[in-house]
């Protein structure tokens, strides 16, 4: 791995997974300007590039309070970087922050090779991994919103600056045409996504009418959310060891204690998640916002420093979408990768968390019981008298409550059952006793 301390740089010709790439098609040199940070400052960017199919051939981290407003890195570092790029045979520079259009343009002019920022890499990964029609619309919207301010650079060969004969060309007209087309496309995509969101709202309303408890699995990307969903529900969501493999939310039924719970796998979060993606994926992220309980998934095999950083990133996104008040259970996955000391340290640091391994099944039973307990604490006990003519209502109670106590009487079926308060209200006309905790 490349290492950089105090602004010193050590290039490498190995890919992020340690395999010599030969002469790969895209060979990225990673850069960052940070006030502080260790030698692994660029580790996540390397993982993002690897997911995007780009080999990392070197990195540079400059210590500075703020990135340079014009060139991101300072002038001296730019000169140093240009020589390192040639030595490492890099053909693209990847920046760990989102660059302004001016910074991106100036960097490309100074270095003589293409420059991409963190947002561009993430958008590229999302574009490759979006499978549903909604996901593709969301990614295209985010890309257009991001690129709209950067269109000027695409037409520099047509721009004519100054005045007089021969200086009034088609460049600015073409730029404005492209911008207008992009804005029109953005408006069209927003209308289509509104329609998709309305359809999703209909499906969500049907689920809410059934009043099945809704549990969302949220957390950092590649923390094992999809694997957990598969293990707990028998789903067959695609799983790979890479960032953002799952973009489209998947909901499956979890049967536990005689009750049905809706378990939803959501898109993963990441440090510095581009605002365009949070906005574009608003409808998808609503699955987390509207959940009754969030399983906050984290990688138990990561270092404590990484876990803290990941938790902060997840909290930021949950707060941005308004889901920070939803009850949550902290879950650490991949504990099969920990030794006994590592597990004990995790337990000591997070005594209220659930430790699971979706690969071995360890802790899944306990997590299911924890979900049951979380919802059981919100249930009320009610006695109902269901007329024999209302057999459908009795069947519905079986679905909603699972186990219940029933007694056949001359007037109908007397039922003692524990329900969510909102569901109990729906059956209030059948009540024969006060609702109690």
Is residue 47 located within the same domain as residue 78? Answer: yes
Let me know if residue 314 belongs to a domain: yes
Contacts of 190 (CB under 8 A, 6+ apart): 141
**Sheet holding 92-95: strands in order across?**
55-63, 27-34, 92-95, 115-117
Percent of the chain with pLDDT over 70: 77
Q: Model confidence over 135-187: pLDDT tens digits?
A: 788 888 888 888 887 775 444 444 444 444 444 445 556 667 777 888 888 88
Which one of 89, 124, 159 terminates a domain? 124
Is residue 91 located within the same domain as residue 182? Answer: no
The CATH number of the domain where 408 resides is what? 3.30.70.240
For residue 138, give its domain range: 130-193
The more confidently predicted of residues 259 and 230 is 230
Q: Is the pLDDT confidence value at 384 over 90?
A: no
DSSP string spanning 41-110? TTHHHHHHHHHTT-EEEEEEEEE-SS-BTTTBS-HHHHHHHHHHHHHHT-SEEEESSPPPHHHHHHHHHH
The more confidently predicted of residues 388 and 400 is 388
Let me know if residue 58 belongs to a domain: yes
Q: Is the pLDDT confidence value at 321 over 50?
A: yes
Q: How far is CA 87 from the centre of its chain?
A: 36
Let me know if residue 1 belongs to a domain: no
The CATH number of the domain where 95 resides is what? 3.40.50.11060
Q: Which has the minimum average pLDDT: 105-119, 123-137, 335-349?
A: 123-137
Rounded-to-5 percentages of helix, strand, coil across the chain = 45, 20, 35
Q: Model confidence over 10-23: pLDDT tens digits?
A: 444 344 344 344 45
Which one of 95, 124, 153 terminates a domain? 124
Per the structure, the count of domains in the chain is 4
Which one of 65, 90, 124 terminates a domain? 124
Q: What pTM was computed for the model?
A: 0.67
Is residue 176 located within the same domain as residue 306? Answer: no
Q: Model confidence over 186-240: pLDDT tens digits?
A: 888 888 888 776 776 666 666 555 567 889 898 887 788 888 988 998 877 655 5
pLDDT of amino acid 154: 45
Is residue 36 located within the same domain as residue 150? Answer: no
The CATH number of the domain where 226 resides is what? 3.40.50.300
Q: Is the pLDDT confidence value at 331 over 90?
A: yes
């Amino acid at each position: 791995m490349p290492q950089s301390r105090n602004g010193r740089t050590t290039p490498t010709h190995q890919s992020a997974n340690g395999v010599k790439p030969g002469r790969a098609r895209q060979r990225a040199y990673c850069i960052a300007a940070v006030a502080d940070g260790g030698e692994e400052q660029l580790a996540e960017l390397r993982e993002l590039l690897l997911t995007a199919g780009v080999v990392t051939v070197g990195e540079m981290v400059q210590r500075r309070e703020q990135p340079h407003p014009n060139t991101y890195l300072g002038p001296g570092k730019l000169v140093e970087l240009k020589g390192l790029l040639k030595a490492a045979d890099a053909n693209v520079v990847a920046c760990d922050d989102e660059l302004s259009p001016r910074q991106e343009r100036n960097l490309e002019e100074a270095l003589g090779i293409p420059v991409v920022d963190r947002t561009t890499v993430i958008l590229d990964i999302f574009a490759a991994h979006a499978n549903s029609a909604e996901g593709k619309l969301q990614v295209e919207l985010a890309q257009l919103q991001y690129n709209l301010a950067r269109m000027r650079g695409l037409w520099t060969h047509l721009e004519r600056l100054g005045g007089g004969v021969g200086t009034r060309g088609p460049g600015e007209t073409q730029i404005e045409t492209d911008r207008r087309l992009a804005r029109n496309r953005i408006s069209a995509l927003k209308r289509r996504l509104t329609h998709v969101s309305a359809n999703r709202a209909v499906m969500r309303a049907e689920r809410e009418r059934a009043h099945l408890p809704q549990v969302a699995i949220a957390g950092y990307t590649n923390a094992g959310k999809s694997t957990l969903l598969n293990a707990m529900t028998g789903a067959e969501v695609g799983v790979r060891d890479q960032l953002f493999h799952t973009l489209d939310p998947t909901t499956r039924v979890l049967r536990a204690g005689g009750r049905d719970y809706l378990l939803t796998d959501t898109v993963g979060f990441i440090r510095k998640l581009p605002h365009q993606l949070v906005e574009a994926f608003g409808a998808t992220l609503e699955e987390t916002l509207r959940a009754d309980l969030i399983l906050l998934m984290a990688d138990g095999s990561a270092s404590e420093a990484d876990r803290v950083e990941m938790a902060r990133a997840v909290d930021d996104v949950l707060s941005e979408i308004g889901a920070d008040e939803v009850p949550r259970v902290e879950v650490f996955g991949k504990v099969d990768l920990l030794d006994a000391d590592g597990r004990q340290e995790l337990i000591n640091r997070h005594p209220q968390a659930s430790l699971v391994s979706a690969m071995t099944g360890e802790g899944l039973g306990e997590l299911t019981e924890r979900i049951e307990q979380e919802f059981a604490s919100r249930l009320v006990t009610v006695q109902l008298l269901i007329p024999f003519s209302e057999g459908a209502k009795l069947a519905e109670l079986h679905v909603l409550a699972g186990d219940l106590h029933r007694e056949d009487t001359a007037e109908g079926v007397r039922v003692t059952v524990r329900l969510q308060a909102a569901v109990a209200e729906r059956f209030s006309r059948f009540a024969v006793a006060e609702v109690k905790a």
